[in-house]
Amino acid sequence: MPLLEGKNALIFGVANHRSIAWAIAQALAAEGARLALTYQERMEKFVRELAEKVPGTPLIPCDVQSDEQLDAAFAKAAELFDGGLDILIHSIAFAPKEDMENPFWQTSRQGFLTALDISAYSLVAMARRAVPLMQARGGGSILTATYIASERVMPKYNVMAVAKAALECSVRYLAYELGAYNIRVNAVSPGPVNTLAARGVPGFTTMRDHMTEVAPLRRNIEQSEIGDASLFLCSPLARGITGEVLFVDAGYHIMG
C-alpha cells in the first residue's frame, strides 16, 4: 500500500516548477496523498499549469500576510478534505530586495518585520488553523523549509537568516506543544537549489559552486532529494521524529 494512501496534504509555497514545494507535492502524490495547493495571486498561471499534472488537485488562493485569507484557505481545505488534514507543508519565505542587498546592519524595521512575518510567523499562523483539522484525524505532520544560515553566518543571507532562526525555534515550540495532539513538526534544511526565491539571494551561484568543493558528496542537491526527505518526515516512517531539522545538503553541514 502507498505510504500516504488516504492522507490529505495542504501545501503552501508552490510558485513554479522549480519550487521546493512542488518537489514535495510530487513526492507526496506519488505515495498516494490527496493534495490541495495554495498559491499567491501573482503565481496563479504557473501553479494552475502544475496542478493539472496531478489530476483532481484543487487550488486555493492565499497570501500568508492576511489572516482573512488564511482563514478562508483553511476553511476551503476543511471543505475539500471533509474536515480532516494529515499533512501541512510550509515552504514560504520573503524579504524585501533592498534588505537582502544592503549590509545586514542597515536592515530597515519594515524589512525585518516583513521577512519575519512571511517567513516565520506564517508557520505559527498556519499551525493554529491546522490543529483542529489534524485533531479530527487523530494527529498529523507539519513540515517547513529552513536554511543553515540560521546557525552559521552565510554572508548576504542577512535578515532571512534571522527569520530562519525564528522559524526553527518555532518548529521546536510547536513540536513541544502539538506533540500532545500527536502532531509532529519538523523542518528540512536543503542546500542551495536554483529557484525563484534563491535568485533573490546575492552570490547564490557562488554558494552552489562552493558546495561542489566542500560538501562530502561533492555536488549540489536536486529538488527531488528534498521531496523524498520531506516525504519521509511526513510519513508514518518518521512517526517517532518531531522538532527535528533534517539537512538535505549533500552533507555540507558537517564541514568545518
Which residue in 201, 176, 198 sits closest to 186, CA to CA?
176
Judged by beta carbon, residue 118 or residue 136, the one nearer ligand 0WD is: 118
Our separate counts of H helices and E strands in the chain read 9, 7
Contact yes or no for 86/134 (Cβ under 8 A) = yes
Q: Binding of ligand 0WD at residue 140 (CB under 6 A)? A: no
Contact yes or no for 233/188 (Cβ under 8 A) = yes
Closest distance to ligand 0WD from the beta carbon of 62 (Å) = 6
Closest distance to ligand 0WD from the beta carbon of 1 (Å) = 30
Judged by beta carbon, residue 91 or residue 235, the one nearer ligand 0WD is: 91
Which residue in 196, 189, 228, 190 sits closest to 47, CA to CA?
196
Angle at alpha carbon of residue 87, lines to 146 and 81, rounded to 5°: 145
Amino acid letter for position 41: E
Question: Which range of residues in 13-21, 75-83, 172-180, 209-217 is near ligand 0WD by CB under 6 A?
Answer: 13-21
DSSP annotation of 90 reads E
Q: Binding of ligand 0WD at residue 208 (CB under 6 A)? A: no
3-state secondary structure of 42: helix
Question: Which range of residues in 62-70, 74-82, 212-220, 230-238 is near ligand 0WD by CB under 6 A?
Answer: 62-70
- All cell numbers assigned to 49: 499549469
Contact yes or no for 10/36 (Cβ under 8 A) = yes
Instruction: Answer yes or no: 121 catalytic.
Output: no
- Taken as a whole, the chain contains a residue count of 256
Q: Binding of ligand 0WD at residue 182 (CB under 6 A)? A: no
Q: Binding of ligand 0WD at residue 84 (CB under 6 A)? A: no
Q: Binding of ligand 0WD at residue 77 (CB under 6 A)? A: no
Instruction: Answer yes or no: 147 catalytic.
Output: yes
Q: Under rule CB under 6 A, which residues in 41-60 are in contact with ligand 0WD?
A: 43
| Residue 233, CB-side half-sphere exposure with 13 Å CA sphere | 27
Q: What crossing angle do the helices spanning 158-178 and 122-135 adopt, rounded to 10°?
A: 20
Q: Binding of ligand 0WD at residue 196 (CB under 6 A)? A: yes
Question: Which range of residues in 1-9, 71-79, 102-110, 187-195 is near ligand 0WD by CB under 6 A?
Answer: 187-195
Closest distance to ligand 0WD from the beta carbon of 81 (Å) = 20
DSSP annotation of 193 reads -
Q: Binding of ligand 0WD at residue 252 (CB under 6 A)? A: no
Residues that bind ligand 0WD (CB under 6 A): 13, 15, 18-21, 40, 43, 62-65, 91-94, 118, 145, 147, 190, 192-193, 195-198
What residues act catalytically? Answer: 147, 157
